[in-house]
Amino acid sequence: MIRTDSNKRKTGGRYEEMACGYLASEGLLILERNFRCRSGEIDIIAKDKETYVFVEVKYRRSSSMGFPSEAVDRKKQATISKVADFYRVRYKLSSDTSYRFDVISIMGSEIKWYKNAFDYCGFC
């Protein structure tokens, strides 16, 4: 089956919605979905108490193409870090504002939440 970009977006949207529901049930406040700038996109931006959380959502039907979390490589981490920088400047967040980078991995119907999945990677 050939997937078009429209189908990929629709599928991605469905799993991002599932991830938002999961995070909300864990007490996070969802602030933004699909936050974009010219550097790229962050799937979900949320708050966990006083900490801003930048979340990448990855889905795989099975592990035959690898685990979903493995798709968040150094290049993707650098992109997410740059978009997070833009978000922090745009909303005038102070330099002492707490933030972290999480990954939601969905395989089949199983959700795994990796808190602090990677460190800031603005220059990698």
- pLDDT at residue 9 greater than cutoff 80: no
Token duo for residue 115: 């808190």
Residue type at 81 in one-letter notation: S
Residue 99 neighbours by CB under 8 Å, 6+ apart? 51, 52, 53, 54, 84, 88, 93
108 pLDDT band (50/70/90 cuts)? confident
| pLDDT, mean of residues 102-108 | 92
The answer to whether residues 60 and 104 touch, using CB atoms and an 8 Å cutoff, is no
What single-letter DSSP state applies at residue 61? S
- Which residues are CB-neighbours of 88 under 8 A, at least 6 positions away? 52, 97, 99
Question: Domain locations in the chain?
Answer: 5-118
Residue 70 has pLDDT above 80, yes or no: no
5-118 is classed CATH 3.40.50.300 = no
